[in-house]
């Protein structure tokens, strides 16, 4: 149901669940809603106003005393503007104020001043939720028509388990959408019964059944989403009230359910009897618990329960009645009999044995889980025993001696150990360690060992992608008075082999680490489509647990509420006309106009009503385009560049070229046995049609396409890992003008460059393309996963205020959320995505494009400012003082941080970086390596050398350490905030940047030439140049190095320009080097217009 152009006022009160409200704003805006946010003072302690401003695109209000807003009675204007008011989270304090009419802040004042329907999404500790005062306040609000959504039950932030969790953002969004009506059941009252009934035998025992109530609750939600006002009569179940349900009545027995249903149906038009009502109840209920008597049989006299459906159908005027039948055989006959016997209007029948078969399949997977737990416990115990035996074999004298000798003795006995460390019995060196360098997980495991009653549990630690190890802590000496603690890292392979050696029995087994209720999955084995059970089973002696994911093949009554809703609506829709016909006949009869219905007219109206409205599905399978004879298409070879494909739309690039390129990429993939690819695009106006044509070509080549929509280029790279495709194309013009667009391509995990890109052109030129394939197309939203992956790993230890300039590029849809998510206060600048780039060119390497950012940082008093290019793979940084921190100096800071954890690692930089960078990397204990400019060339060199970090003067940064090794300006910005905010001396960003050496340098200088002329010039320049005693580096252009500075000229691979840069120790040296280059350049082409 759409929220297009609906006006939602979101109130956010104080509570940890406020972080969910950020996601709620995004979900609402996805559905087309206009959202304005009002925060209480308490909410500001959990989420910053800048975050909501970035997500909503509207100013955030929090005070009644905002003079600029209240000069025009702003709170009254907001109260009149809103169509719905939702407070999420609604704290106990906010609920109390609303219940008693207190209006001491902007939010409560708005609620009293507005006629808009008010919705509350409570979020609080389970004890607070259960308190009589809170329940009394909610009862009072419900009487006044306030709708209460939730709460859900589960584990809470405080560690308690129970009711009080705020509903998930998508549930709240759906409830608001349903509140606007307009669905198939709009204006109707619907009563749904669900769950079992319990019939008491005595005060302790009862007769009941295993009904979970899930189907009935799903039906209730479906009816609400279809626009009905729903009353849910629920038996004893532990399910949260579905979003959008107007009223819930909880009952226990069949008699109570009958009374509640008859009362609710007095004004209803539809009754859906989905409850599993007990057929019989004890004739008498014992006042005391019945005692067991040896040798005596217990005889219960049962009496028949009331027939709820039968009592309704006996009424002269009753609602449209829907019943259910679960039978083991002769399903159709028994269902038809029940339909007639009970006077129903419609019945849903299903085979009970299929449900039983589901239980059997689930049991098999659960048995596999138990077997995996047992096998893993044996492996863990075996690994521990090996370490214990090695420690036991040590000479006691060594424990008191030199630590190096102790480690050497242990290594001799544990040759398989990947790492061994010994720490003092007090662990004082761990307590005072810098945990960011030492490792949080390692420190936590060591310190927990001091307080563990038994042996410290075994767990695992990750050292980058593909390198997980088993870690355990062993006391040297008695555990209560340990002389020292041994840290051991062993290969993880035995655990992985044991886990993968257990058959998942048609489902899936997940190996987790941490609390059994936390889904920190480290391995999975089995069907990806299986649905995981809540909780997991712990592996003794470790922090591991195994969860069972059940196969979906036998599900008749879906666990998925959206799917159950779809099925329920399909059934209800079939009977909707019958209901309408009955109501219409009553109206006509009462008016003396009993006429026949024109069936042809009705069919025509049905066809009109069912005409599909245009919409963009979140996930869809679209038929592959039909193969058509290929018409000759002229493809300009100049767009196939060194490390991507790029041209001017309408001149060298169009949809025909994009389609051919898709076929060429598809042919390459098919040769390599690759079948699936992700495709994303930036915010340029030509993006949708070029991406669509590219996808058509890929699918015609038989390749399945995952459409990511409009996302930054790094998100496309991320999706190749996240969806395990290894292949992706970003349709982007990067930092180029609006009329440019292009393609960055990853195949088999490698970014294509040079010869591989020319091979794509060769295939097109020779017509060596794949055709006639039937690849699929599905659309997914990967942004939440990208955001979660970053914020779960990167955190700013103190709150930095940062201005984010996205230059109206696609990073505006992501970067502010990422930086806010890691703990920064974000001030967005030009974050609205606009492919015409109306404010400035999206290229942070040009200082002119940073002028507005520098001004914004000064005016707002921010700590610093960051800027991104048009597709988000470049980063620019400015300080509060207006200084531009060039990327080569940022790379110094990143190198220090990475090398603190990865000593000796290779750090790659391009030919445009300062000569000071090499010395900084060496001083930090790294291995510096200069390489050619170009994102794909740098990534190729990283794979070849195993480098942990790389960077380019253009602002591309490539983190392999803790990330995936691709260039990502947004992630680099997050890592920068982590470094600056985590400084142990709490220095300002300017003070930290001041520690990075700098000389006198120029930014990138550019000389524009005709297309292709810049390459020809460099050939002549390289042949004629003479720089005397300078050291020449010609891996990419010509770089001349002197002891006091250097200069560079190279041909750009993205636009037809010569790129120059100069760097020196002092102004005189810089002027000398520039003059030397000036003479050499003009000697080759006297007509050059030099920018220096």
Q: What is the pLDDT of residue 156?
A: 65
Question: pLDDT tens, 731-744?
Answer: 999 888 899 999 99
Long-range contacts of 1016-1023 (CB under 8 A, 24+ apart): 1017/1051, 1017/1058, 1017/1084, 1017/1085, 1018/1049, 1018/1050, 1018/1051, 1018/1058, 1020/1084, 1020/1085, 1021/1049, 1021/1080, 1021/1081, 1021/1084
Q: Name every residue whose Cβ is closer than 8 Å to that of residue 469 and which is 6 or more positions away in sequence.
A: 418, 419, 460, 461, 462, 463, 489, 490, 491, 492
Residue 1014 carries which DSSP code?
H
Query: Do both 107 and 216 map to the same domain?
Result: no
Give the whole-number percent of the chain exceeding pLDDT 70: 86
Positions marked active-site = 734
Q: How far apart are CA 1030 and CA 535, in angstroms?
A: 67
More confident residue, 730 or 408: 730
Residue 870 pLDDT more than 90?
yes
Query: Do both 526 and 572 map to the same domain?
Result: no
In which element (H, E) is residue 537 found? Answer: strand 537-538
Provide the number of structural domains found in the chain.
7
Question: pLDDT tens, 316-329?
Answer: 889 999 998 876 66
Q: What is the pLDDT of residue 553?
A: 40
Query: Do both 766 and 836 map to the same domain?
Result: no
For residue 745, the Cα-to-chain-centroid distance in whole angstroms is 23
CA distances from 623 to 249, 359, 627 (A): 46, 36, 12
CATH number at residue 864: 3.40.120.10
Q: How far apart are CA 283 and CA 429, in angstroms?
A: 72
**Residue 958 is assigned to a structural domain of this protein:** yes
Cβ pair 638, 670 in contact under 8 A: no
Residue 339 pLDDT more than 50?
yes
CA distances from 620 to 599, 778, 779, 782 (A): 34, 5, 6, 15
Q: What is the pLDDT of residue 63?
A: 80
Hey, which residues does 745 pair with through a beta bridge?
A: 729
3-state secondary structure 494-515: HHHHHHHCCCCCCCEEEEEECC
Q: What is the largest CA-CA distance in the chain?
A: 117
**Residue 143 is assigned to a structural domain of this protein:** yes
Q: What is the pLDDT of residue 18?
A: 86
More confident residue, 18 or 908: 908
Residue 1073 pLDDT more than 70?
yes
Residue 454 pLDDT more than 90?
no
Q: What is the pLDDT of residue 614?
A: 33
**Residue 954 is assigned to a structural domain of this protein:** yes
Query: Do both 467 and 537 map to the same domain?
Result: no
What residue ranges in 340-455 does DSSP mark as E strands? Answer: 346-351, 419-424
**Residue 609 is assigned to a structural domain of this protein:** no
Q: What is the pLDDT of residue 515?
A: 56
- The residue-averaged pLDDT of 697-724 equals 95
Identify the weakest region by mean pLDDT among 154-163, 267-276, 454-463. Answer: 154-163
**Residue 573 is assigned to a structural domain of this protein:** yes
**Residue 575 is assigned to a structural domain of this protein:** yes
**Terminal CA-CA length for the chain:** 60
Query: Do both 904 and 1005 map to the same domain?
Result: no
Reduced to 3 states (helix: H, G, I; strand: E, B; else coil), residue 194 is strand
Instruction: Return the number of other C-beta atoms located less than 10 Å from residue 42's C-beta.
Output: 16
Reduced to 3 states (helix: H, G, I; strand: E, B; else coil), residue 565 is helix
Tell whether omega for the bond before 151 is within 30 degrees of 0, i.e. cis. Answer: yes
Q: What is the pLDDT of residue 598?
A: 36
Q: What is the pLDDT of residue 328?
A: 63
Sign of CA dihedral 680, 685, 688, 689: negative
- The residue-averaged pLDDT of 135-140 equals 89
Q: What is the pLDDT of residue 569?
A: 53
More confident residue, 443 or 909: 909
More confident residue, 462 or 973: 973
Q: What is the pLDDT of residue 525?
A: 81
Last residue of a domain, one of 150, 179, 208: 179
Q: What is the pLDDT of residue 404?
A: 83
Hey, which residues does 710 pair with through a beta bridge?
A: 681
More confident residue, 305 or 245: 305
CA distances from 957 to 722, 819, 824, 868 (A): 20, 17, 21, 12
CA angle centred on 516, ends 515 and 521, rounded to 5°: 85
Identify the weakest region by mean pLDDT among 177-191, 565-579, 805-819, 939-953. Answer: 565-579
- The residue-averaged pLDDT of 1053-1063 equals 87
Q: How far apart are CA 177 and CA 226, in angstroms?
A: 10
Query: Quick one: pLDDT band at residue 578, thresholds 50, 70, 90?
Result: very low
Packing angle of the helix pair 493-500, 352-392 (nearest 10 deg): 160
Q: What is the pLDDT of residue 520?
A: 62
- The residue-averaged pLDDT of 603-622 equals 36
More confident residue, 468 or 924: 924
CA distances from 723 to 359, 672, 791 (A): 31, 18, 19
Residue 696 pLDDT more than 60?
yes
* Backbone angles phi and psi of 227, in degrees to 5: 100, 0
Last residue of a domain, one of 478, 493, 508: 493
Question: pLDDT tens, 278-296?
Answer: 999 999 998 888 888 887 8
Residue 833 pLDDT more than 80?
yes
Residue 928 pLDDT more than 90?
yes
- The residue-averaged pLDDT of 1021-1037 equals 91
Sign of CA dihedral 21, 23, 25, 28: negative
Query: Do both 32 and 87 map to the same domain?
Result: yes
For residue 161, the Cα-to-chain-centroid distance in whole angstroms is 25
Residue 579 pLDDT more than 60?
no
Query: Do both 980 and 1012 map to the same domain?
Result: no
Query: Do both 374 and 439 map to the same domain?
Result: no
Q: What is the pLDDT of residue 441?
A: 66
Residue 65 pLDDT more than 80?
no
Q: What is the pLDDT of residue 356?
A: 45
Question: pLDDT tens, 81-125?
Answer: 888 999 999 999 999 999 998 888 889 988 988 888 899 999 988
Give the whole-number percent of the chain exceeding pLDDT 90: 49
Q: pLDDT averaged over the chain?
A: 84
- The residue-averaged pLDDT of 345-369 equals 71
Query: Do both 812 and 761 map to the same domain?
Result: no
> By CB neighbour count within 10 A (0-12 exposed, 13-18 middle, 19+ buried), where does 328 fall?
exposed
- The residue-averaged pLDDT of 799-809 equals 95
Query: Do both 128 and 13 map to the same domain?
Result: yes
User: Domain range for residue 976?
Assistant: 795-993
- The residue-averaged pLDDT of 723-730 equals 94
Last residue of a domain, one of 179, 198, 233: 179
> By CB neighbour count within 10 A (0-12 exposed, 13-18 middle, 19+ buried), where does 603 fall?
exposed
Pair of tokens at residue 192:
């749904």
Q: What is the pLDDT of residue 616?
A: 34
Question: pLDDT tens, 632-689?
Answer: 678 999 899 887 899 999 999 999 999 999 999 999 999 999 999 999 999 999 999 9
More confident residue, 179 or 845: 845
Query: Do both 27 and 155 map to the same domain?
Result: yes
More confident residue, 23 or 611: 23
CATH number at residue 1006: 3.30.310.50
Question: pLDDT tens, 490-540?
Answer: 999 899 989 988 988 778 888 887 655 444 677 888 776 566 776 688 899
**Residue 253 is assigned to a structural domain of this protein:** yes
Q: What is the pLDDT of residue 771?
A: 85
Q: What is the pLDDT of residue 949?
A: 97
Question: pLDDT tens, 171-216?
Answer: 888 888 877 766 678 778 999 999 999 999 998 889 998 888 888 9
Q: How far apart are CA 965 and CA 122, in angstroms?
A: 42
**Residue 790 is assigned to a structural domain of this protein:** no
Query: Do both 38 and 165 map to the same domain?
Result: yes
Residue 533 carries which DSSP code?
P
């Amino acid at each position: 149901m759409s929220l297009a152009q609906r006006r939602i006022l979101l109130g956010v009160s104080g509570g940890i669940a406020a972080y969910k409200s950020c996601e709620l704003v995004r979900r609402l805006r996805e559905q087309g809603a206009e959202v304005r946010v009002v925060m209480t003072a308490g909410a500001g302690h959990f989420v910053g106003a800048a975050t909501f401003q970035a997500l909503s695109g509207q100013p955030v209000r929090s005070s009644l005393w905002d003079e600029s807003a209240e000069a025009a009675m702003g709170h009254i204007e907001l109260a009149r503007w809103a169509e719905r008011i939702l407070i999420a989270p609604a704290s106990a304090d906010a609920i109390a104020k609303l219940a008693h009419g207190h209006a001491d802040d902007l939010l409560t004042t708005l609620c009293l001043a507005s006629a808009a329907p008010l919705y509350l999404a409570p979020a609080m500790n389970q004890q607070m939720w259960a308190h009589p005062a809170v329940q009394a306040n909610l009862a009072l609000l419900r009487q006044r028509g306030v709708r209460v959504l939730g709460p859900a039950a589960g584990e809470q932030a405080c560690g308690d388990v129970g009711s009080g969790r705020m509903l998930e953002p998508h549930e709240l969004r759906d409830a608001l959408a349903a509140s606007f009506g307009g669905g198939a059941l709009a204006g109707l009252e619907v009563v749904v019964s669900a769950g079992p009934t319990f019939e008491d035998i005595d005060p302790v025992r009862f007769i009941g059944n295993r009904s979970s109530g899930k189907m009935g609750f799903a039906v209730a939600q479906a009816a609400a989403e279809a626009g009905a006002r729903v009353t849910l009569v629920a038996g004893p179940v532990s399910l949260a009230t579905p979003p959008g349900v107007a009223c819930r009545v909880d009952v226990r027995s069949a008699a109570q359910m009958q009374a509640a249903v008859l009362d609710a149906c007095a004004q209803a038009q539809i009754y859906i009897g989905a409850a599993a009502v007990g057929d019989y109840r004890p004739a008498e209920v014992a006042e005391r618990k019945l005692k067991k008597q040896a040798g005596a049989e217990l005889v219960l006299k049962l009496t028949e329960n009331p027939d709820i459906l039968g009592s309704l159908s006996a009424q002269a005027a009753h609602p449209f009645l829907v019943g259910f039948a679960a039978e083991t055989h002769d399903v159709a006959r028994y269902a038809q009999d029940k339909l007639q016997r009970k006077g129903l209007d419609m019945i849903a029948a299903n085979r009970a044995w299929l449900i039983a078969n589901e239980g059997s399949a689930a049991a098999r997977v659960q048995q596999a889980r138990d077997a995996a737990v047992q096998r893993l416990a044996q492996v863990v115990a075996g690994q521990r025993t090996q370490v214990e035996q090695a420690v036991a074999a040590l000479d006691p004298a060594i424990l008191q001696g030199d630590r190096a000798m102790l480690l050497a003795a242990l290594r001799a006995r544990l040759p398989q150990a990947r790492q061994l460390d010994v720490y003092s019995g007090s662990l004082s060196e761990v307590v005072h360690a810098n945990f960011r360098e030492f490792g949080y997980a390692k420190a936590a495991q060591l310190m927990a060992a001091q307080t563990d009653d038994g042996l410290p549990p075994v767990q695992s630690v990750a050292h980058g992608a593909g390198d997980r190890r088993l870690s355990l802590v062993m006391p040297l000496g008695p555990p209560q008075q340990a002389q020292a603690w041994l840290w051991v890292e062993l290969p993880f392979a035995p655990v992985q082999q044991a886990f993968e050696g257990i058959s998942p029995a048609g489902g899936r087994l997940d190996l987790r680490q941490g609390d059994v209720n936390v889904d920190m999955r480290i391995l999975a084995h089995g069907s990806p489509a299986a649905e995981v059970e809540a909780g997991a089973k712990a592996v003794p002696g470790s922090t591991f647990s195994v969860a069972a994911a059940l196969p979906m093949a036998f599900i008749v009554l879906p666990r998925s509420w959206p799917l159950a809703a779809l099925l329920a609506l399909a059934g209800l829709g079939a009977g909707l006309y019958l209901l309408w016909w009955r109501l219409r006949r009553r109206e006509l009869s009462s008016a003396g106009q009993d006429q026949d219905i024109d069936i042809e007219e009705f069919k025509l109206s049905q066809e009109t009503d069912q005409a599909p409205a245009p919409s963009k599905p979140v996930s869809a399978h679209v038929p592959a385009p039909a193969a058509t004879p290929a018409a000759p298409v002229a493809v300009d070879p100049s767009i196939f560049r060194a490390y991507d494909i790029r041209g001017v739309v309408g001149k060298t690039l169009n949809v025909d070229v994009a389609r051919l390129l898709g076929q060429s990429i598809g042919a390459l993939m098919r040769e390599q046995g690759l079948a699936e690819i992700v495709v994303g695009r930036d915010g340029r106006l030509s993006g949708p049609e070029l991406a669509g044509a590219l996808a058509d070509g890929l699918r015609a080549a038989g390749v399945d396409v995952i459409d990511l929509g409009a996302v930054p280029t790094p998100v496309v790279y991320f999706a190749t890992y996240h969806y395990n495709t290894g292949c992706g194309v970003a349709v982007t013009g990067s930092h180029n003008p609006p009329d440019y667009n292009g393609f960055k391509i990853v195949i088999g995990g490698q970014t294509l460059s040079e010869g591989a890109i020319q091979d794509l052109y060769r295939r097109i030129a020779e017509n060596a393309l794949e055709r006639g394939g039937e690849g699929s197309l599905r659309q997914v939203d990967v942004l939440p996963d990208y955001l979660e992956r970053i914020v779960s790993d990167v955190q700013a230890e103190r709150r930095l205020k940062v201005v984010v300039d996205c230059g109206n590029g696609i990073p505006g849809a992501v970067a502010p959320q990422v930086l806010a998510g890691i703990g920064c206060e974000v001030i967005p600048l030009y974050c609205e995505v606009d492919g015409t780039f109306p404010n400035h060119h999206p290229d942070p390497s040009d200082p002119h494009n940073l002028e507005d950012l520098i001004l914004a940082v000064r005016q707002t008093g921010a700590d610093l400012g960051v800027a991104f290019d048009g597709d988000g793979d470049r980063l620019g940084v400015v300080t509060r003082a207006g200084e531009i921190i060039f990327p080569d100096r940022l790379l110094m800071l990143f190198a220090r941080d990475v090398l603190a954890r990865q000593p000796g690692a290779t750090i790659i930089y391009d030919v445009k970086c300062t000569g000071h960078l090499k010395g900084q990397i060496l001083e930090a204990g790294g291995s510096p390596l200069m390489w050619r400019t170009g994102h794909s060339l740098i990534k190729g060199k990283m794979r070849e050398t195993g480098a942990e970090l790389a960077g380019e003067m253009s602002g591309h940064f490539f983190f392999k350490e803790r990330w995936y090794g691709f260039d990502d300006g947004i992630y680099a910005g997050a890592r920068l905030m982590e470094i600056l905010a985590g400084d142990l001396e709490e220095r300002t960003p300017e003070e930290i940047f001041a520690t990075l050496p700098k000389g006198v340098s120029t930014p990138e200088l550019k000389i524009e030439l005709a297309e292709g002329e810049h390459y020809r010039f460099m050939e002549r320049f390289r042949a004629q140049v003479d720089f005397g005693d300078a050291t020449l580096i010609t891996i990419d252009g010509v770089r001349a190095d002197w002891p006091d500075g250097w200069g560079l000229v190279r041909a750009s691979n993205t636009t037809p320009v010569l790129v120059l840069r100069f760097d020196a120790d002092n102004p005189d040296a810089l002027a000398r080097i520039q003059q030397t280059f000036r003479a050499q350049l003009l000697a080759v082409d006297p007509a050059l217009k030099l920018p220096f």
